[in-house]
Structure 1
Amino acid sequence: MFNNLLSLAPDFWKAIGETFAMVGISVGSALLFGTPLGILIFVTGHGQIFEHKVIHRVVNYVVNTVRSLPFVILLVALIPLTRLMIGTTIGPIAASVPLSIAAIPYFARLVEQSLREIPKGVIEAAVAMGASPLEIIWKVMLNEARSSIVSALTVTSISLLSYSAMAGTVGGGGIGDLAIRFGYYRFQTEVMIATIILLIIWVQIIQFVGSRLAHVLDKR
Structure 2
Amino acid sequence: MEVSSDQIIQAVSETLYMVSVSLVFATLIGLPLGILLVVTRKGHILENQALFSALNPVINVLRSVPFIILLVAIIPFTRLIVGTSIGTTAAIVPLVIYTGPYIARLVENSLLDVDAGIIEAAEAMGATPMQIIFRFLIPESLGSLVLSITTATIGLIGATAMAGAVGGGGIGDLAITYGYQRFSTVTIIATVIILVVLVQAIQSLGNVLARKIRRHG
State the TM-score bracket (shorter-chain normalisation): over 0.9
SS at structure 1 position matched to 2:167? helix
1:176 CA drift (Å): 0.2
1:25 CA drift (Å): 1.2
**1:35-50 matched pairs, under 5 angstroms:** 35-50=31-46
* Structure 1 residue corresponding to 2:6, chosen from 1, 6, 10: 10
Cα separation, 2, equivalents of 1:215 and 1:183: 39
Query: 2:28 aligns to what?
Result: 32
CA contact (8 A) 1:103 1:156 kept: yes
Structure 2 unaligned segments of length 5 or more: list them: none
Q: Which amino acid aligns with 2:93?
A: V
The number of residue pairs the alignment matches comes to 216
* Structure 1 residue corresponding to 2:92, chosen from 74, 93, 96: 96
SS at structure 2 position matched to 1:159? helix
1:30 CA drift (Å): 2.1
1:187 CA drift (Å): 1.0
Q: Which amino acid aligns with 2:12?
A: I
Q: TM-score when scaled to structure 2?
A: 0.97
Q: Which amino acid aligns with 1:206?
A: I
* Structure 2 residue corresponding to 1:130, chosen from 118, 126, 149: 126
1:217 to 2:213 alignment: yes
Cα separation, 1, equivalents of 2:50 and 2:62: 19
Query: 2:55 aligns to what?
Result: 59
Cα separation, 1, equivalents of 2:107 and 2:28: 12
Cα separation, 1, equivalents of 2:93 and 2:9: 22
Query: 1:199 aligns to what?
Result: 195
Cα separation, 2, equivalents of 1:174 and 1:16: 6
1:66 CA drift (Å): 0.1
Query: 2:136 aligns to what?
Result: 140
Q: Which amino acid aligns with 2:214?
A: D
Identity of aligned residues (%): 49
Q: Which amino acid aligns with 2:161?
A: A
Structure 1 unaligned segments of length 5 or more: list them: none
Q: Which amino acid aligns with 1:47?
A: G
1:46 CA drift (Å): 1.0
Q: Is the deviation greater in 26-35 or in 49-58? A: 26-35
Cα separation, 2, equivalents of 1:26 and 1:54: 30
Cα separation, 2, equivalents of 1:96 and 1:74: 12
Query: 1:172 aligns to what?
Result: 168
1:135 CA drift (Å): 0.8
**Structure 1: 4+ residue segments shifted above 6 A:** none
Query: 1:156 aligns to what?
Result: 152
Cα separation, 2, equivalents of 1:90 and 1:10: 21
